[in-house]
Amino acid sequence: MSSRWTHLVCSVAALVLALGTPVAAAAERHGPLTVRTQNPLHLLYLGPRPARATLPSAGALALEVQASVSNLLERTPMVGGWAQDLDLEIWRFVFSARYAPTRWIDLGLQVPLLRFDGGFLDGPTDAWHGVIGNSGGRRANVRRDRFSYRLAPTSQVLYDVDEVAIGLSDLTVDVRVRLREGGDPSVGPALALQVAGKLPTGSWQDALGSGAPDLGAWILVEHGGRWLAVHGSLGLVVPGPARALAGIQAPAVLTWMAAAELTPTPALSVLVQVLGATPRILGIQSSNETGVSLDLALGVRGSARGWTWQIAFVEDLITLGPSVDFTAMASLGRTFGP
């Protein structure tokens, strides 16, 4: 990222914090943006879906469909070829459901679909990087809208897959347990525990899943006043032995999230969010994959008459890391019950 972009991010964060002095009881909130790092190798594994520490009322059922598109170019040369050549666009569609049998617990299910292709966004990506002072770069030597999904860090090719029109990825189930009620200055922060598991339902040969189950757990926190709230999470993911990447995957991954939510009206929230994780891939000569992921997400969330929606844009904060060049995401949901 350019210094100008870094200064802009810091300025926005400082302004949000300056406005965030609690002045009254908490207003209606929508929670953090439900985005994750869209690197295709990371999508093989369980990833955190940012969530509130405040649970819904007993009997509430929420259904949602989410779509995101990401653009990525990561190439690592080696003698005689490329150790890594990821040049593609990733489409991810997620159908999710959450149900709260009691006010102390809720259950979630995510059904993701993935599409890999050469796409059409290389030109707009170049234009965007020019705006933020990072024009040219790695894209100067590759043709636009090409497709490559190849990982061969040694003489063994781990992945060399074709374009995928659409395919089922790995399902995720999770449970949230309320640990502490709160979330506003009068009673202190709200706390919850989220535990999740990933089921190997996607084809590992087509890079739609890892071929193994994963487990993860996160502590969620939420606190704020009438106009501004902060959300955070800290957790650990323990992946199962992936069919293709078991020899180079990390034994455990630490993840974190911090978000500031400005709520000018009960029907609309503006969010600034940072997501990060320790490396998932180890032992290969590619700083693009063995580095820390760090994403900045900017977006809005809204609700009206039981309907909910969100729109977000995600940009990588570390150039030499596994975070993708950019992600655009939108979702639409419906809540039934209390």
262-320 pLDDT, tens digit per residue, is 999 999 999 999 999 999 998 777 777 888 999 999 999 999 999 999 999 999 888 77
- Domain range for 276 is 3-336
Torsion sign over Cα 54, 296, 66, 108: negative
Q: What is the mean pLDDT of residues 148-155?
A: 84
Q: How far is Cα of residue 194 from the mean position of the Cα atoms in its chain?
A: 16
Q: What is the mean pLDDT of residues 220-249?
A: 95
Percent of all residues in the chain with a pLDDT value above 70, rounded to a whole number: 83
Q: Which DSSP string do the residues of 222-268 spell out, in sequence order?
A: EEE-SSEEEEEEEEEEEE---TTTTTTB-S-EEEEEEEEEEEEETTE
SS3 320: coil
- For residue 127, is it left (φ>0), alpha (ψ between -120 and 50) or beta? alpha
What value does the mean pLDDT of the chain take? 86
**CA 223, CA 228: separation in Å to the nearest integer?**
9
- pLDDT value at position 116? 95
DSSP state of 107: E
The candidate with the shortest Cα–Cα distance to 231, out of 38, 101, 48, is 48
The band of 132, judged by pLDDT with boundaries at 50, 70 and 90, is: low
The string of pLDDT tens digits covering residues 318-336 is 877 889 988 999 999 999 9
Which residue in the block uniquely carries the two structure tokens 């002045």?
23
- pLDDT value at position 47? 94
Q: What is the mean pLDDT of residues 227-252?
A: 96
Q: Are strands 171-180 and 105-117 parallel, antiparallel or unpaired?
A: antiparallel
Looking at the chain, list the stretches that DSSP marks H as alpha helix, in order from N- to C-terminal side: 3-18, 122-131, 287-290
Q: Could you give the C-alpha distances from 174 to 2, 47, 63, 193, 210, in angstroms and in order? A: 38, 12, 15, 10, 18
**CA 77, CA 286: separation in Å to the nearest integer?**
9
The band of 75, judged by pLDDT with boundaries at 50, 70 and 90, is: confident
pLDDT at 1 over 70: no
Structure tokens at 239: 């992946």
The band of 25, judged by pLDDT with boundaries at 50, 70 and 90, is: very low
The better pLDDT of the pair 53, 17 is held by: 53
338 CB neighbour count, 10 Å cutoff: 11
Q: What is the mean pLDDT of residues 234-259?
A: 96
- pLDDT value at position 301? 98
The band of 16, judged by pLDDT with boundaries at 50, 70 and 90, is: very low
pLDDT at 56 over 80: yes
**CA 338, CA 334: separation in Å to the nearest integer?**
12
CB distance 190 to 223 below 8 Å: yes
Structure tokens at 280: 């998932």
Which residue in the block uniquely carries the two structure tokens 């071929």?
211
CB distance 201 to 168 below 8 Å: yes
Q: How far is Cα of residue 69 from the mean position of the Cα atoms in its chain?
A: 12
- pLDDT value at position 130? 60
- pLDDT value at position 66? 98
Amino acid sitting at position 313: F
Among 30-44, 69-83, 197-211, the range scoring the smallest mean pLDDT is: 69-83
- pLDDT value at position 283? 78
The band of 42, judged by pLDDT with boundaries at 50, 70 and 90, is: very high
Among 116-125, 152-161, 196-205, 217-226, the range scoring the smallest mean pLDDT is: 116-125
- CATH number at 313 reads 2.40.160.40
Q: How many independent structural domains does the chain possess?
A: 1
The string of pLDDT tens digits covering residues 77-101 is 766 666 788 989 999 999 999 999 9
Q: Is 74 exposed, middle or buried (0-12, 13-18, 19+ CB in 10 A)?
A: buried
The candidate with the shortest Cα–Cα distance to 281, out of 253, 320, 250, is 250
Q: What is the mean pLDDT of residues 247-271?
A: 96
pLDDT at 134 over 90: no
- pLDDT value at position 23? 35
Amino acid sitting at position 132: I
